[in-house]
Homo-oligomer: A and B are copies of this chain.
Amino acid sequence: MDLQETCVESNVVYDGCLLHVRRDEVRLPDGGTSVREYITHPGAVAVLALKDNGNLIMERQYRYAARGEFYELPAGKIDPGEDVLLTGQRELLEETGYVASEWVHLTSTRPCIGYSDERIEYFLARGLAQQQRCLDHGEFLEVFELPLGEAVDWIRQGKISDSKTIVGVLFLEKYLKDWQD
């Protein structure tokens, strides 16, 4: 069964500071047409920074869109043309002040296929050493450590509700237990 939809016409309908929205007319599998609206996004990298003692480096951050504070993995957008490993290294240092000697790409996911082309690349970072963090202008966040097992408990309890972080933590737990070889 062919499910593909093809572009008939594409327009930028909102070009903001952060959000860029397109509205496309598409040809459906049955020959009819429909409208698809979606965010164009540069992609992002999320980092599972794991200390030798088993603690993850986490962030507490207020997210205005979702009107609340969230416990999150360090993460940030890919700069134009930037290698995703460099994005991970840059964001970890900027937001938390950590550098890491060992980087492993874990997986690539699509956080919002209904209305965004965003992808998130996940890295495991080990061999951590603390340097100086340097937040972007207008960025406010608190860094803390959380044992991996406790992060899993927080997911069970709903205390961690950010999907990007749930995916990373549960993937990492499987990776360390069952998937490493």
Contact = CB atoms under 8 A, between A and B. Distances in A.
Interface of A: 1, 3-5, 13-14, 16-19, 21, 23-24, 26, 28-30, 32, 34-39, 44, 60-67, 69-70, 72, 107-118, 120, 138, 140-142, 152, 155-156, 158, 161-164, 166-167, 170-171, 174, 179
Given A1-B140, A38-B65, 14 more contacts: A4-B69, A14-B21, A28-B138, A32-B138, A39-B115, A44-B114, A66-B117, A72-B113, A110-B162, A111-B163, A156-B179, A163-B164, A167-B167, A170-B174
A44 B172 CA distance: 26
Contacts of A60: 3
Main secondary structure of the interface of A (DSSP, over half): mixed
Contact of A3 (B38, B140, B156): B140
A165 to B, nearest CB: 9
Nearest to A153: B179
16 contacts: A1-B142, A3-B69, A3-B140, A4-B62, A16-B21, A19-B37, A34-B138, A66-B110, A72-B113, A107-B158, A110-B163, A112-B116, A156-B174, A166-B167, A166-B170, A167-B170
| Ranked 7 nearest A-B pairs via Cβ | A38-B65, A3-B62, A170-B170, A14-B14, A63-B113, A19-B37, A36-B64
A169 to B, nearest CB: 9
A140 B170 contact: no
